[in-house]
Structure 1
Amino acid sequence: MSDGDHGAAPGAPGFPLPRRACDAHCHVFGPADRFPYAASRRYTPEDRPKEVLAALHARLGLERAVIVQASCHGTDNRAMLDALRWAPERCRGVAMIDDETSDAELGEMQAAGVRGIRFNFIGSLGGAPDMAVFHRAADRVRDLGWHMVLQLQGEGVRDMAPVIRDLRMPVVIDHMGRVDPAQGTGGAAFRTLLELLGDPRIWVKLSGIERMCRAPFTAALPFARALLRAAPDRVLWGTDFPHPNLATPVDEMELLSLLPAFAPEPADRQRLLVDNPAALYGFGTG
């Protein structure tokens, strides 16, 4: 496979999509009869197994994926790992772990393509974890070369900033920190996020636009532009498919089609969709 952009095709996003483009934030759910949802879950999604995710990526023209463990499956990572093993060359994963996760399980995850762990700090999804468990988890995966993924919301970015700075490992902040667009790019939470990006260990996903505002999503675009300018080599993009806990349906092609609005240059999109996820997740060059 050669480098370069794909030409536009029917149903394509309307701009040349670089080869090996990656959806760096997506989920698989179930199927529940094989991979049950956690008893402690705050929501029960419809099944969206690996075959459904693969069909979406084929429609969008995305060749790689980072499958992120969602809270509805808790620390039972089997559905995510099953998806990684199904397409090992094109998929990587982010797990959820706790003190009950064994060293052997971590080794199996590493072999399957897991490269990070995720903790959620969103109140509606259960709120902040036990911070002792959080730090023990970070200590266990640091030597594996993994990173920490944090789901924060608004002021949570400011609250967690000291912890993030002290983690001694790469940190990825989901969904632009889920800041409130009504506060503008000058809001305190977003200013903190920009300040954090001054640290070369810290990354951010230019995803979750559909959680900040409704279509056509223009209110979220200044935030994505500012983050890309602040750290062009440490931004990622993802669909967040299948958009758990979002009441309004989303067309992922519409989300993909927004990229030129905040990443106008082909070089920007090459970094965002290909080079940056390859660097963080260790995708091959083929």
Structure 2
Amino acid sequence: MADDGPVPNSAGMAAPRSAVPAGACDAHCHILDPRFPSPDAEKPSGMTFDDYRLLQVRLGTQRAVVVQSKFHRQDHACLLDALRRFDGTGRGIGVLDPGVSDAELKRLDAGGVRGLRFSVWNPADTVTTIAMIEPLARRIADLGWHAQLHMMGDQIVAHAALLKRLPCAIVFDHMGRLPPSLGPQHAAFAVIGDLLAAGRAWVKLAGAYLNTQIGAPDYPDAGAIARAFVGLAPERLVWGSDWPHVTEPAGHKPDDAVLLDLLDGWSGAEAVRRRILVDNPAELYGFG
């Protein structure tokens, strides 16, 4: 990790070693723009739609899934603006509470939103709660949306019964946040695996720097988790950059080209890499 390169909030200068196939999707990024409403007094820098476009040029990706940031809470003006500007090559994941109206859900659906995120891994910093997951899952199932869950491995195990009865598909953020010291040996891997086998879940191969005790550039402990998921269900995986890496302080942002290159080793074959970058996200998010 190092200071920003030509893309704000991303280290490094080089393009990825391997060119991505046409239609490649970054299935997890955030856009924060102080032009849009937020209760947060601290204004982000270098995290706008235009900044993200610079990352797309560097990586070669053509599709993107924008996940609503905590900065904008439940106001989706920034997200919908970005989806309009993507002009069909973007999809969105919103953040809502159970009081949302049917009309608002339909408005977001028309704007390109395809799921709701529940980032509940840190109870002290969450916009939503675990108790909100099931009632909202019932609301979004008929829209064909999914519930995107950012939970720690222990939380996944503790709430396995809840996850199994949700009426919509589930997308697990950041490889399920399994403890790096245990990786696939942690009980959450089996819980996720059962849902994958039933065709009810997907996993994002994202956030290697969140799933490591060893660190850059190879993140071998995170890689062991990623390869285990590839071996289990390559048809249920997508890749994401997690740009602009809001958990990481300035001067310590990861190199997004390095993060993308990790997929070469994780996937083991170009056909699998293509599936993760192109075919799977096209199915999950409804890209034409």
Query: TM (normalized to structure 1)?
Result: 0.88
Which residue identity lines up with residue 28 of structure 1 in the other structure?
Answer: I
Quote the Cα distance in structure 1 between the aligned partners of 2:123 and 2:135.
24
- 1:24 to 2:27 alignment: yes
Alpha-carbon contact 1:18-1:269 (below 8 Å) kept: no
CA contact (8 A) 1:122 1:128 kept: no
1:36 matched residue in structure 2 = 37
Deviates more, 1:121-130 or 1:75-84: 121-130
Paired residues, number: 271
After superposing the two structures, state which structure 1 stretch, 184-193 or 83-92, moved more: 184-193
Cα offsets for 1:31-64 (capped at 9, x unmatched)? x1x213335x9x8643511111111111110000
2:278 aligned residue: 274
1:222 corresponding residue in structure 2 = 224
CA shift, 1:132, in A, is 4.8
C-alpha distance in structure 2 between counterparts of 1:239 and 1:132, whole Å: 28
Aligned letter for 1:37?
S
Report the Cα offset of residue 88 of structure 1. Answer: 2.4
> Deviations 1:80-104 (Å, cap 9, x if unpaired)?
1110011121100110111343322
**Counterparts in 2 of 1:164-175, with a 5 A limit?**
164-175=163-174
RMSD between superposed Cα atoms in Å: 2.0
Write the letter of the residue equivalent to 1:38. P
Alignment of 1:124-139 (within 5 A): 126-127=125-126, 129-139=128-138
How far apart in 2 are the matches of 1:138 and 1:280?
A: 16
Output the CA distance in 1 between the equivalents of 2:201 and 2:98. 25
Letter of the structure 2 residue corresponding to residue 85 of structure 1 = R
Does the 8 Å CA contact 2:23/2:278 hold for their aligned counterparts? yes
- SS of the residue corresponding to residue 185 of structure 2 reads coil
- Relative contact order, CA 8 A, sep 6+: which one is greater? 2
Query: Post-superposition shift, 1:76?
Result: 1.0
Which residue identity does 1:78 align to in structure 2? A
How far off is 1:155 after superposition?
Answer: 0.5
Other-structure match for 2:6: none
1:46-125 equivalences in 2 (<5 Å): 46-123=45-122
Within 2, Cα distance between the matches of 1:17 and 1:190?
Answer: 28
> Unpaired segments of 5 or more residues in structure 2?
1-12
1:234 maps to which of 230, 233, 236 = 236
SS in 1 for 2:175: helix
CA spacing shift, 1:72–1:160, aligned 2, 3 Å: farther
State the 1:187 CA deviation: 2.2
User: What secondary structure does 2:75 align onto?
Assistant: coil
Contact 1:95 1:116 in 2 (8 A): yes
Indicate whether 1:183 and 2:186 are aligned: no
> In structure 1, how many angstroms separate the alpha carbons of the residues matched to 2:272 and 2:85?
30
Write the distance in 2 (CA, Å) between the matches of 1:143 and 1:136: 13
- Provide the C-alpha distance between the structure 1 equivalents of 2:177 and 2:85, rounded to a whole number of angstroms: 31
1:272 and 1:184 mapped to 2: Cα distance?
21
CA–CA distance in structure 1, aligned partners of residues 226 and 80 of structure 2? 30
Q: One-letter code of the match for 1:243?
A: H
Residues 128-187 of structure 1 deviation map (CA, whole Å, 9 limit, x = unaligned): 944553322212211111111000112111122211110021100000111111123212
Deviation at 1:199, TM superposition (A): 2.0
CA separation in 1, counterparts of 2:262 and 2:73? Answer: 31
Cα distance in structure 1, aligned partners of 2:107 and 2:222: 38
Q: 2:192 corresponds to which residue?
A: 193
What whole-Å deviation, never above 9, does each CA across 1:233-259 have from its counterpart, x for those lacking one?
110100000111223321101101111
